[in-house]
Every structure is written in structure tokens, then in C-alpha cells.
Amino acid sequence: MRYVRKLKDMKKKHSTTDKKSKASSSSQPETLMINLEENLEVIKKTLGESSDIVIRDVLAGTDGNIHLAVIYTEGLADKTFIQDFIIKPLMLTIRETEISDKGSQHMSSMDILKNFALSNGDVKKIGDFDSLYLHVLSGDTVVLLEGYTKGFSIGSRGWEDRGVNEPSSQTVIRGPKDGFSETLRTNTALVRRKIKDPNLWIETKPIGKKTRTDVALVYLKGVADDKIVEEVRERLLRINIDGILESGYIEEFIQDETYSPFPTVFNTERPDTLAAGILEGRIAILVDGTPFALLVPAVFVQFFQSSEDYYQRFDVSFLIRILRYVSFFLALITPSAYIAVTTFHQEMLPTQLLISLAAQREGTPFPALIEALLMELTFEVLREAGVRMPRAVGSAISIVGALVLGQAAVEAGIVSSAMIIVVSLTAISSFVMPAINMAISVRMLRFPLMFLAATFGLFGMILGLITIILHLCSLRSFGVPYMSPMAPFKSSDQKDVIFRAPISRMFSRPTFLKPNDKIREKPPTPKPESN
Amino acid sequence: MEKLKISALQFTNIVILFTIGSSILIIPSGVAEEARQDGWLAGIVGLAGGILVILLFNALQKQHPNLTLSESCEVILGKWVGKGVSFIFISFFFMLASTVMWDLVNFLTTHILIHTPIEVISILFISLIIYATRLGLETIVRCGEIFLPWVIGLFLVLILFALPEAKFSNVLPFLEEGLKPVFRGAILSMSIPYLQLIVFLMLYPAVQSVPKSGKSLLIGTLLGGIVLISITTSCLLVLGIDSTIIQSHPSYILGKKIRLGNFIQRIEVIVAIIWMLTIFFKLVILFYSSTLGFAQLLGVKDYRTLTFPLGIILTVLSLVIFPNSTYANEFAGTVWIPYSFTICVLLPFLLVIIGKMRRKKADNT
């Protein structure tokens, strides 16, 4: 068997090398050539004379003896910038400059251009077509010279941007209102504005063979665990796909467990949440083209924390956090508990309540499970419709929803009004979660629990819950157990789980993230006794 | 053997859950039957006896701190005799698992799911056990950490709500028939949870700091024992002797008695939840240890391969082990005590002695 496999491997290798050699022989030369015309020919051929690529010939120099070409992509590059600071100096300034200094006469025209004409900050030398295309298609301007195998790439990116707006998915009452936008540079700037530390390192790498999307790894050197940083870097390097269109792609590639209803990567639109995570020793991944940044390693309790928790007084946020955990459980088990109690354990209910429930259920034709499924399904459809429909018809949905869910279903005797209460409670509870992806997993897990409750009552529910907790305990996110710091229990990390300690008492970073630098703030030194 | 490590705190947690296990269902009526109104005293004496037994286990463990029970058997007694003895231990764990499973199913079909077929409940529960075992010890103990606060919290709710119904005349007169029935009750309560803790000798090597593990076992047993004693006492105080003895699951009936205001009443299903959780952990630990033991016995590299076959055997065994609850009671009263004392006291004692003698011999030569 092994021999056969080896043979296959060899065959594979052969075929790939064949392809490579074929590709290189048929395609254009890799490095720039001396002749400018030839270079431009190659570029035009490769880019297929796309209408948004602008190639401008310029004759520069005192006698117009330097033949050069300016190449940029219209729409991605800042047109006025190019006219004022690239083409104009090349055509005019160079002519006016007296290059009388003896040393400068020995300079090549390339250096003269760089030193006397191009007054831009971001100028790079490039030597091969690959980087030329990458720069041009990213919005930079490339200048090529006759007689040189090198060219300049000048940073001139400037395209229509949505700007920094209020985040739409994670709103707060108190706290900064800026959110990430689609441009990577804006986003990194937003993070830098929060953390002005030289140890904030931003590593950028294009991922995706066709899209060449810039993906930035942001972390605090000396705080984040080096092993985890290395692990994230490796997982990013392993990605081999044609395109990255959103950070969700990256999330699916780097997460630990693919087949799990629970998210093991945290995402946020808010720079303050991201900065807080980085300060705790987490690692952020920013992706160009999306306002959603990723934060790893993620633990279960993180999805119950909102950045607002830290801006309000600690007792308020403690209560609100309890509310979130309670509503998590409500969203998960309310329908199944209702089914289990009404079908199997009627004795649990106080007599009065039981009588009123029985009276309501008398007219309804379906068993509790079908009733619950019907209403839950209706609600899910309404919610999905609410997200997708055009704004203009929004009110129609809410009218239909209110009527169908509230009135007509009960009056027609299809469902009992108690079931309406249960479904609404579930629905409202699932909106309390600050992280949407956690709310979605609860939405999904509700249904198997309902089936278990309908067949085995509370016994089935408990089985289901144990299974869920077992699964949660088996998860890991970049080596960190998902349920930490609850399991494995760390008493020093309990300051920010259910109870949020006053910020002046949070001396240390969470230890489950294994930060290199554990101390956040110095514990106050005892005041010297006053006489 | 897994290289995963669990902390001493996690170990204590899981010991508490195991000790409460199924005993919380069976112990009150069994002890009350023997010791009558002095059942609470029998519980305390039983716990004291249990602590002694645990000291014995720790002594056995100290000889080979990094080996599981079945591995140290082979080291102490030689390969083939050791394998035989460790088979006896492992089959004890497996038998115990099937009786615990039977207890659970019996409880569920008498009180909660009266019309559901026994087989379905068994298969469902054992699939969960297999799933948990396959996820590994680390996941199991973490899950224990999540559930322990719930178990303790719900237990406190049960005890606190039951207290208003307590009548202290129920436990009087004190020592009516002397100490003899108290000791009989103590021996029963020793044999039901405390002797079974021998199963943790299979898990000791997984604990991070081996010297601390003996202490965590003691602490866990003590805390679990306190829970058991308090449930026995509150059953006696609230239900009275006769109804504690007659009921096969008096602690469940305790939940029925609770009535607070006109709203909190009949919370026995909530009570059943606690037991489902603790029994789940007891079963998982037993099943994990027996699969691990069988794997070491047969030289299987990964114990996970054995989970399905052993799970199927466990399902069938738990269905046929007792024909009815009368038989089960009879078995627990007559066969179980000598059986478990032989395996959990006599055998470890012999192992300790032989181990010491061998060491001395090795030192002399």
C-alpha cells in the first residue's frame, strides 16, 4: 500500500513540476526589462487593456531625454494627488532644477528622480512584474524608466470610503461611538489611537491568491503569549484559497473545531473592544474590506461581555451580566421546559396555574411540541425576513408578525396564548446577548432540546444539557480551554466572569491567556499613616 | 494512558460528585432500616470508617504514585497474577457501573418516566456516557466543575426548604437499642459510597501534583460524606423513620414534602435533576476507569476503542443484573457488603503488605 502511495506522490510531483515549467514558459518574463516599450507591452497584455488602468507617457528631464511612464488604477488612486505630486514634478520641476552639483551628475537619473522630483513619503523600488501588479491594483502609482530594470512605486491609495461610522451590530449607550470601516489602514489607525505603545505590533500579509487581501495581525509584544502568536501566524500561513472576502473566511480557516455550534473566534466592530482584548493579551486579526475584526483566543464568557460593562459602575454591570446569563438559559430552555412540564410533569405546577393552562390548551388541536415548533419556526422566519427585506416594507412585516404571532393564531385556536408568551420570552431573551454568533448557536440548539423534552421530559432535557456542557468543555480556542476560567477553575480570574470587579481591583490580566506580563496595574501601596 | 493532567481542585470536585452519586438515593432508606432513628449517627460513623479506608488506598498509592491500580497490581504481584487481580478490580468497577445504571433506570421508571421503556432510557444514557468517555478525562472533570455549583446549590435549596417540616421527635429516643444497629448501618453506608472510591486509584496518576492527590481524595470524601449525612438526617427528621424505610427513594419523597407559600411546591423533579447529574458523573468515572483498566489489561493502546463494545455490554448487563427491586435490596443487604469489603479492603490491604515485603526484600539484597 505504502509503495503505491509513494508512486502516486511521485506522479503528483511530476505533474505539478510539469505545470510549473509550462506556466513559466508560456507566461511573460518575471523581472522588468530595460526597454520601457517592452515593459509597457507586457503590462498591457497581462492586464488585458482594462479600462481602469491608466498608463501615461512622460518625457522628463531638462532636455526631455528621460522617457518614463506613470501607471495607476483609476478609482483606487487619488487622481489629484497623482497630478500634483507625481506628474507635475516629473514634467516641470525636474526641468527647472539646476543639477549643477558635481556629485549629482554622477547620479543615475533614477536617483535624481527619487531625490529631486518625487516629493512623496511612501516610495519603494520594485523590480518584478508581480509586485508591480500588486502595487498598481492596490491603488499605488508605479513609475517606470527607460533604461532601467527597476521602477518606483509611490503610495497614492485613495478611494471612496464609508468613513468611520457608528457600529451597527454592537451598540452601546455609554462608550465610544466609532466603529471599524472597510479600509484596513483606517482600522489599524483606530487601534493605534487607542494604544500608543511601541510594543503594539502590526504584521500585515496578503492572503488569497486572487484577491491578495491584506490581513493584519495585531498584538502587544511582550504581553501576548508568544506561542499563541506563533500558532495564529502559522494558521494564517496555512490558508490557501483564491479569495478572502470577509473575516468570516479567516475565522473558518483558523478556528479549532469546525463542527461545533459555538463560535471559538470572537468578532467585533468596535475598536474599544478590540483594544481591550489586545490589552488582555489577546491577538487581533484585521482584514481589509470588512469592519469585523477577529479576536483570539476566545472563551465562552467573553461572548457575554460587552464593552459597556467596563464603562458603567461595577455593580450595575454585575447585575446586567447576571441578566445576560439568565436570558441565555431562558433562550435555550424555555420552550423545551414548557413542553416537558405540560407533557410529563404537570404535578410541578401550582394547581391554579395548571387549571388555567389546561383550559387554554383544551381548544388547541396540536400537541405541545408541534405547537412550539410551529410558533418558533414562524418567529425565525419573521426574524430572517426582518433582516433581509428592504427598509421600505419593514412596517408590513411587523404588522403581520404582531397579528400572526399575537392575535390571530390564538383566536383561531391553533396555539394557546401561553405558548405565545413562551415564544416571545425566548425571542426577546436571545436578543440580550451582546454577541450575535452566540445568540445564533442558542437559536439552533433550542430545537434538539425541544425534541428531547417532548420524548423524554426533563430527563431528556438534562441529557441534552449535559451533552452541550460536555461539548463546551471539550472545546479549545488556540490551546485555551473554552470554558476557562470556570473550568478549569481559576479563582484569580473570577474578577471578570459573572461578577465584574471594580476596575481598580483588576490588578492582573486573565491568566488563562498565559500573558507574558501578568500585571495590569500596580496594586495601591498602603497609604502612609498621617499623623 | 492519557498524558493530560487534572488539578487537585478538579480532583476534589469529581470525588465529591462521585461520593454523592447514586448513594443519595439509596443510602437514607438503607441506613434507616438498620439503625432506625440513629441513622444520622450511623452516617457519621460510616464516614469515619470511610476515611480509614481512604488512608489505606493512599498507602497503596504511595508505593507506585505514577501507576494506575491495574498497573501497580502487575508490578507488585508479577505479570500474570497481577493481571488476574486487576481483572477482579476492573470487573468490580464494571459490575458497580451496571448496578448504578440499574438504580438510575429503576428510579426513573418508578417516579418520572413511568411509561417509557427501560431499554430506551438505558441506551440513551449510556450513549451519553460513551460520548463523555471518548472526550477524555480532562473534559469530564471540567464538566464536573461546571455542574458542581449547581448540584450543591440545588441541594442547599432542598435542605433549606425541607427544614421547616422537620420534627426532632422523629430521631428520638437516642440509641434506643444500643450501638449494634448503628454499626450495622455504618457498615452499609461505608460499603455504598466510600469503599467504591477505590476507583480513583485508577485516576491518581492523572492528577498534576501527586502528593496532593491523597489529600484531595480525603477532602472530597469528607465533603461528599457531609452531604450524604445531611440528606439522611433530613429524611429522618422530615419523613420519620417508617416512611423513610418504606420508600425506596426517600430523598425524592423529601422533595414532594416541600411547600413554601402557595407557589414553591412539589419541586421533586428539580431534586431528580441533582441526582441525574451526580449519577452521571459516578457512571462516567466508573465506565472510564473500567475501559481504561481493560485497555491496560489487554494492552490496547487507546481506551477509546473499547468504549463501544463495553458500552453495549454495560447496557445489557444493567438491564439483567437485577430482576426487580426486592432482589436488588436483598442483594445490597446480603451479598454486596462482603463482596465489596473483600475487593476494596482485603485486596488492597494484601497488596500493601506484599508490596512492603517485596520492597524490604529488594532493600536487603
CB contact under 8 A, A463 and B124: yes
Q: Kindly identify which residue of chain A lies nearest to residue B125, measuring between CA atoms.
A: A463
The shortest C-alpha distance from B132 to chain A (Å) reads 7
Termini Cα distance of chain A: 88
Give A-chain residues touching B131 at CB under 8 angstroms. Answer: 467, 470
Q: Give A179 or B365, the one with higher predicted confidence.
A: A179
* Whether A345 contacts chain B with CB within 8 A: yes
Put simply, the answer to whether A489 touches B265 (Cβ < 8 Å) is no
CB contact under 8 A, A348 and B142: no
- B205-250 pLDDT tens trace: 888 776 677 888 899 999 999 999 998 888 888 888 888 888 888 8
Chain A residues with beta carbon closer than 8 angstroms to that of B7: 488
Q: Is A488 in Cβ contact with B10 (below 8 Å)?
A: yes
* Cell 419523597 belongs to residue: B253
Compare all CA atoms of chain A with the CA of B11 and give the residue at the minimum distance: A488
The pLDDT confidence band at residue B267, using thresholds 50, 70 and 90, is: confident
**Grid coordinates representing A337?**
421546559
Residues of chain B found within 8 Å of residue A487, distances taken between Cβ atoms: 141-146
Q: Is residue B311 within 8 Å of B134, Cβ to Cβ? A: no
What φ, ψ does residue A66 adopt, rounded to 5°?
-95, 115
Rounded to a whole number of angstroms, the distance between the first and last alpha carbons of chain B is 33
Which among B136, B145, B263 has CB closest to A488?
B145
Contact A489 B132 (CB under 8 A): no
Contact B142 A457 (CB under 8 A): no
- Report pLDDT for A19: 47
Q: pLDDT truncated to tens, each residue of chain A (531 aa)?
A: 455 555 555 555 554 444 444 444 445 567 888 888 888 888 888 888 888 888 888 887 666 677 888 899 988 888 888 888 888 887 777 666 655 555 555 667 777 777 777 777 788 888 888 888 888 888 889 988 888 888 888 888 888 888 888 888 888 888 898 999 999 989 999 999 999 999 999 999 999 988 889 999 999 998 999 999 999 999 999 999 998 999 999 999 999 888 899 999 999 999 999 999 999 999 999 999 899 999 989 999 999 998 888 998 889 999 999 999 999 999 999 999 999 988 888 877 878 888 888 888 887 888 889 989 988 888 888 888 888 888 777 777 777 777 776 778 778 888 888 888 898 899 899 888 888 889 889 989 999 999 999 998 888 999 999 999 999 999 999 989 999 888 888 888 888 888 888 888 888 888 888 888 888 877 666 666 555
- A426's CB contacts (< 8 A; 6+ apart) are A330, A331, A334, A335, A376, A379, A446
Q: What is the pLDDT of residues B133-189, one digit of tens each?
A: 999 999 999 999 999 999 999 889 888 888 888 888 877 777 777 788 888 888 888
Average pLDDT over residues B81-96: 92
Q: List CB contacts (< 8 A) between B124 and chain A.
A: 456, 460, 463
Distance from CA of B209 to the nearest CA of A (A): 15
- pLDDT score for A528: 61
The answer to whether the beta carbons of residues B348 and B57 sit under 8 Å apart is yes
Which runs of consecutive H residues, i.e. helices, occur in A350-502?
351-362, 368-388, 394-401, 409-411, 417-430, 436-474
Neighbours of B164 (CB within 10 A): 11
Distance from CA of B268 to the nearest CA of A (A): 8
Of the candidates B121, B128, B276, the beta carbon closest to that of A467 is on: B128
User: Hey, are the CB atoms on A350 and B121 less than 8 Å from each other?
Assistant: no
Q: Indicate yes or no: CB of A466 within 8 angstroms of CB of B280.
A: yes
Residues 6+ apart with CB under 8 A from B37: B170, B171, B172, B173, B174, B176, B236, B241
**A213-222, B15-24, B67-76, B175-184: least confidently modelled range:** B175-184
Rg from Cα positions in chain B = 20
* Partner-chain contact A466 B145, CB within 8 Å: no
Q: Which of A344, A467, A487 is opposite residue B145, by nearest beta carbon? A: A487
B-chain residue closest to A455, CA distance: B116
Chain B contact for A379, CB < 8 A? no
Q: Shortest CB distance from B143 goes to which of A456, A460, A469?
A: A469
pLDDT of B123 higher than 90 = yes
Q: What is the pLDDT of residue A17?
A: 47
Of A345, A466, A483, the CB nearest to B142: A483
Chain B contacts to A (CB-CB under 8 A): 7, 9-10, 108, 112-113, 116, 121, 124-125, 128, 131-132, 135-136, 139-147, 262-263, 265-267, 269, 272-273, 276-277, 280
> At how many degrees (to 10) do helices B137-162 and B268-298 cross?
150
Chain B interface test: which of A469, A483, A484, A490 (most B C-beta within 10 Å): A469
A56: buried, middle or exposed (CB in 10 Å: 19+, 13-18, 0-12)? middle
State whether A345 and B112 contact (CB < 8 Å): yes
Beta strands of A228-271 (E only): which ranges?
266-268
The grid cell for A522 is 500596580
Tell me the sheet residues that pair with B6: B207
Contact check, Cβ <8 Å, B147/A469: yes
Please identify which residue in the block is written with the cell numbers 483570539.
A296
**Which residues of B fall within a CB distance of 8 Å from A469?**
143, 146-147
pLDDT attached to residue A14: 52
pLDDT at A303: 92
Contact A458 B136 (CB under 8 A): no
CB–CB contact B269 A469 (8 Å):
no
- Which residues does residue A60 pair with via DSSP β-bridges, in sequence order? A66
Which chain B residue has the Cα nearest residue A488? Answer: B142
Which residues in chain B are contacts of A466 at CB distance < 8 A?
A: 128, 132, 143, 147, 277, 280
Contact B142 A488 (CB under 8 A): yes
Three cell numbers written together for B131 = 460520548
| β-strand partners of A216 | A204, A286
Chain B residues within an 8 Å CB radius of A460: 124
E-assigned strands of A221-273? 266-268
- Which range among A117-121, A139-143, B125-129, B259-263 shows the weakest confidence by mean pLDDT? B259-263
**Minimal C-alpha gap between A513 and chain B (Å):** 17
B262 interaction partners in chain A (CB closer than 8 Å): 350
Burial class (CB in 10 A: 0-12, 13-18, 19+), B142: buried
